[in-house]
Structures are given as structure tokens and as C-alpha cells.
């Protein structure tokens, strides 16, 4: 079956301590994008962390053809980005929950040759955007700075030459630990040293609340960024640039999860190091207006919902990191889809469907558009790794459209329990006529659906 679009809210990371894919550095949402693109689908629309647009080179490399271009990914182009999802998640009990990172929803279209991209509902020229930011005025300033300084060299911070010895750091200097080392802004002492000591380094701890500083008497561990200068005078001139309001503002605007993003630090211009800089000189160089100056004092806050606590016991969110998307967020995503993806024969798939919010809303949308119910079922696919999610998803769909033998056959074939991110063959979704009995076993859905379909799922607690 040709899948025309993938959509959903894929897991952000694997929190299983035994997994080789544990932690934010091995994001599962990037794997979901990779899998979707490998099928040659026409559209991908996911909710993910904002790392896609403001993360490290490793984050953005998954999306782009050229690391210098944050918006185009090979045959795919970003058509829209919306930063309106942070308050739209629920745990398995329907309580509002905070996923712990900034999120956004975006749409990627294959072979889209348009020069237009939509950010938070406004249209921009793709060729004029290097930064995408949730705040329109901030984004405008960031892009103007970059466009107006193409002839200038760029900052070049690195973390590849840091201290790589044993990690048994000590807070205080001892006979065995006598070499000063910066560990993300904290001075500690190591038992070995490398060649950084004695060099003119600007050290920028990745935790962005810590100021960059000059040092020649210490080395750094990999948690800090460094940029080397030839002389102490050059290093201090560089530090004067980094400490201006403009540069500090850019650092704050482009940080990810409270940490500096080296990808964007290294896009900033490196000014003349034969002189020291101050706010007045930098403002004049970049023609900063009075209105733009007001942005420097603006607090770049993120919208965060409070995590709810259920009386039913410890949340599954605490155990698995699993969250579910609200119905309102899904409807907003659907409103932005090109109309061709709502044609009767357009096939939409959620590869991490949870208990079926995207699946159910897709079917509802198709039926609302006067599509035949059977065809709406046949063109809506869902996969999830959790058996209980799949059982509940099937039951909710059957409750919506009617628990008939034909509907059960389609639902049992098109909503399956599997790991869609690793090794799943999407060819297994083969079109079939309802009068043909699928080869898969129907016993589970036939036994569970009548019981589960009697459960009432209020709209405020629909998840998936």
C-alpha cells in the first residue's frame, strides 16, 4: 500500500536504562522521521522537540541536505512550523503533563519547489530564513543580522579537543589531582592534563546561564565549548564581543533546553579582534533600531503546563516517558494539511499511534468530508509497540464507526502492534476488499472489542 502521509507525535527518547538508545542524544523522533522518509511518502507532519531547528549539528543533520541550510532536506522541504504544542500533552489518565522540552509541530513536503515557508501562521521566503524561532520579532532580528554580515568570518567554538582523561575529578586540588579543568562552568581538578593549558581559550560552558570567560591556566572537559586565540589581547577582544547585549541575546534566543547550541553560536560573525568592543559599537555596526533594542530585555519564556498527578497511582509517564496528544492539537495539524491529503484514496499512517488519537481523528475527518466509512478505515493506518494501546485503539475506532464484522477485519489489519521504528515493513499494509478475509488472527480483537467498546472515552481524555 502506498502511504501518502505520516503524521503523529513520535516518542522523543528511549528512557529504558538497558537500551542502547537511551537519552536525548539518541532521539527516537529522528528515527521516526528517517523511517517515514525511507518509504518515499509525500508528506511528514510530526510533533517533535524544537531541536530540529535549533539543536546541535547532529540534530539538524538528520533533516538537511546541506548543514548550512536548516530548511531543506534532500527531496523534502519544510512547509510549515508552529510552536503551539507545549500545553497539549496528557498522561494516560488525561492529566495535563509537561514533556520537559520545547516542542513544535512541522510539515515536510516531498519535492516542494515553493520558496514559501509558514512559521506560526505567517509566510516567509525560504531563501531568507536561517533561523526559525517561536517569536516573530526575534526571528526577524536574527535573520537580519545573518543576512547583513555575509562577508565576515564566523565564530568557531569546538568541544572536540577537550580533556579526555579519567572522569575522577576532584573539587579541591590534591597531590594526585592538580590540573585545573572546567567542567561545565565548575572548576575542578583532574589527575591528567592535555595541551590546552597555556593556550588562550575562551570557555563557554554549555549551560547557557554561565558566562563565557577567558582562561589560559586550565583545560576543559567535553561539556564546555572553547575557541582559541593567538594572543591574550585577541582573546579578551573576543570576550568583549561575546559579552555585548546583542550576542548574549542571540545565545539566549537560540539555546536548546537551557544549553547553548554550538550550531548557532558558530553562525555569529567574528568581528575585528584588533580592538575591544562594547554595546554601542556593536549596535552601530549592525544598525540595531530602538525597537530591536527592546528585544534584548525581553524574557524568552517557554509555555509550560503543570504536570498533573492522578489519584490512580504512579503515572505511566513516569515509567515510560509516554505522553498523548490532545484532540485540539491534532485538529490544528489537520487544518494545515494540503487538500490532496484528504482525498478519499489518500492513505495516512501514524507509526507510533498510542491508543489512537491521530487514528481516530483521521477517520472522523474523512467521514466528516463525506468519505465512505469503509474507505476511511481502509486508508487509515496505525502502529504502536504497546499491546494495550493497540487494543484500546481498535476498540475506540470500532466504537466510533460500528463494531461490524467487515469493520473488525479492516481494523485488525490496519492497526497493528509492532515496533515501527526498527525493522517494521510497511509493505505489510496491503489493500484488501472487505469481502476478503485477512490472514491475520482475529481472535484478540473479536474477544476484546465488544468489552472495550462499552468503555466511554470523554473527549478531554482522548489520547494518542
Q: Are residues 215 and 279 in the same domain?
A: yes
Domain that holds residue 31: 5-134+305-461
Q: Are residues 280 and 352 in the same domain?
A: no
Which of 295, 327, 349 terminates a domain? The answer is: 295
Q: What is the pTM (predicted TM-score) of this model?
A: 0.78
Residue 115 lies in a domain: yes
| Structural domains counted in the chain | 2
Q: Is residue 143 part of a domain?
A: no
* 286 lies in the same domain as 344: no
Query: Could you tell me if 316 and 272 lie in one domain?
Result: no
What is the SS3 string spanning the chain? CCCCEEEECCCCEECCCCCCCECHHHEHHHHHHHHHHHCCCCEEEEEEECHHHHCCHHHHHCCCCCCCCCCEECCEEEEEEECCCCCCEECCCCCECCCCCCEEEEEEEECCCCCEEEECCEEEEHHHCCCCCCCHHHHHHHHHHHHCCCCCCECCCECCCCECCCCCCECCCCCCCCEEEEECCEEEEECCCCCCCCCEEEEEECECCCCCEEECCCEEECCEEEEEECCHHHHHHHHHHHCCHHHHHHHHHHCECCECCHHHHCCCECCCCCCCCCHHHHHHHCCCCHHHHHHCCCCCCCCCCCCCCCCCCCCHHHHHCCCEECHHHHHHHHHCCCHHHHCCCCCEEECCCCCCHHHHHHHHHHHHCCCCHHHHHHCEEEEECCHHHHHHHHHHHHHHHCCCHHHHHHHHHHEEECCCCCCCCHHHCCCCCCCCCCCCCCHHHHHHHHHHCCCCCCHHHCCC
**Within a domain: residue 174?**
no
Of the residues 295, 326, 344, the one at which a domain ends: 295
Q: Are residues 280 and 339 in the same domain?
A: no
In a domain, residue 150? The reply is: no
Asked whether residue 16 is assigned to any structural domain, the reply reads yes
On whether both 253 and 358 belong to a single domain, the answer is no
Are 248 and 360 contained in the same domain? no
Q: Are residues 263 and 334 in the same domain?
A: no
- Are 447 and 351 in the same domain? yes
Give me the tens of pLDDT residue by residue for the chain, a chain 464 residues long. Answer: 789 999 999 987 665 544 433 344 457 888 898 899 889 999 999 998 887 776 555 555 555 544 344 455 567 888 999 988 876 776 666 666 666 677 889 999 998 878 889 999 999 988 788 788 888 999 999 888 887 777 889 999 987 667 776 677 888 999 989 999 988 888 899 988 888 889 999 999 888 677 899 999 999 888 889 999 999 999 999 999 999 999 999 888 887 767 787 877 888 899 999 999 999 999 999 999 999 999 988 776 655 444 444 434 455 555 555 667 888 889 999 999 999 999 999 999 999 998 899 999 999 999 999 999 999 999 999 999 989 999 999 999 999 999 999 999 999 999 999 999 988 999 878 654 434 333 333 333 333 333 333 322 333 333 34
312 shares its domain with 445: yes
Say if residue 263 is in the same domain as residue 328: no
In this structure, the answer to whether residues 216 and 117 fall within a common structural domain is no
Whether 13 and 321 have beta carbons less than 8 Å apart is answered as yes
In a domain, 154, yes or no: no
Amino acid at each position: 500500500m502506498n502511504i501518502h502521509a505520516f503524521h503523529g507525535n513520535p516518542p522523543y527518547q528511549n528512557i529504558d536504562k538497558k537500551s542502547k538508545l537511551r537519552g536525548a542524544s539518541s532521539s527516537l523522533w529522528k528515527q521516526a522521521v528517517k523511517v517515514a522518509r525511507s518509504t518515499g511518502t509525500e508528506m511528514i507532519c510530526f510533533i517533535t522537540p524544537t531541536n530540529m531547528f535549533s539543536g546541535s549539528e547532529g540534530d539538524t543533520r538528520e533533516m538537511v541536505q546541506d548543514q548550512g541550510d536548516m530548511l531543506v532536506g534532500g527531496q523534502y522541504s519544510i512547509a510549515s512550523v508552529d510552536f503551539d504544542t507545549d500545553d497539549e500533552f496528557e498522561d494516560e489518565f488525561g492529566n495535563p503533563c509537561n514533556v520537559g522540552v520545547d516542542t513544535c509541530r512541522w510539515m515536510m513536503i516531498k519535492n516542494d519547489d515553493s520558496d514559501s515557508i509558514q512559521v506560526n501562521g505567517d509566510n516567509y521566503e525560504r531563501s531568507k530564513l536561517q533561523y526559525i524561532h517561536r517569536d516573530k520579532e526575534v526571528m526577524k532580528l536574527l535573520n537580519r543580522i545573518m543576512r547583513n554580515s555575509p562577508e565576515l568570518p564566523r565564530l568557531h567554538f569546538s568541544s572536540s579537543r577537550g580533556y579526555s582523561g579519567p572522569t575522577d575529578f576532584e573539587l579541591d586540588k590534591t597531590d594526585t589531582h592538580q590540573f585545573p579543568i572546567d567542567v561545565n562552568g565548575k572548576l575542578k581538578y583532574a589527575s591528567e592534563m592535555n595541551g590546552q593549558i597555556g593556550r588562550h581559550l575562551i570557555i563557554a560552558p554549555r549551560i547557557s546561564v554561565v558566562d563565557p570567560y577567558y582562561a589560559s591556566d586550565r583545560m576543559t572537559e567535553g561539556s564546555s565549548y572553547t575557541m582559541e586565540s593567538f594572543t591574550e589581547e585577541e582573546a579578551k577582544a573576543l570576550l568583549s564581543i561575546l559579552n555585548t547585549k546583542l550576542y548574549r541575546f542571540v545565545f539566549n534566543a537560540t539555546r536548546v533546553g537551557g544549553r547553548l547550541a554550538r550550531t548557532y553560536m558558530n553562525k555569529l560573525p567574528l568581528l575585528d579582534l584588533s580592538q575591544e568592543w562594547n554595546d554601542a559599537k556593536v549596535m552601530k555596526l549592525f544598525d540595531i533600531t530602538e525597537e530591536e533594542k527592546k528585544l534584548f530585555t525581553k524574557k524568552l519564556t517557554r509555555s509550560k503546563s503543570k504536570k498533573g498527578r492522578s489519584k490512580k497511582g504512579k503515572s505511566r509517564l513516569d515509567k515510560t516517558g509516554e505522553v498523548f496528544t490532545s484532540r485540539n492539537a491534532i485538529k490544528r495539524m489537520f487544518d494545515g494539511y494540503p487538500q490532496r491529503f484528504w482525498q478519499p484514496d489518500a492513505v495516512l499512517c501514524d507509526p507510533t499511534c498510542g491508543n489512537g488519537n491521530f487514528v481516530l481523528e483521521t477517520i472522523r475527518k474523512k467521514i466528516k468530508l463525506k468519505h465512505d466509512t469503509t474507505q476511511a478505515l481502509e486508508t487509515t493506518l496505525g502502529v504502536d509497540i504497546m499491546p494495550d494501546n493497540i487494543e484500546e485503539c481498535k476498540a475506540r475506532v470500532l466504537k466510533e464507526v460500528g463494531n461490524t464484522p467487515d469493520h473488525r477485519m479492516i481494523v485488525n489489519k490496519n492497526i497493528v502492534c509492532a515496533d515501527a521504528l526498527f525493522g517494521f515493513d510497511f509493505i505489510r499494509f496491503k489493500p484488501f476488499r472487505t469481502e476478503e478475509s485477512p490472514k491475520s488472527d482475529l481472535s484478540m480483537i473479536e474477544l476484546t472489542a465488544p468489552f472495550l467498546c462499552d468503555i466511554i472515552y470523554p473527549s478531554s481524555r482522548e489520547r494518542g
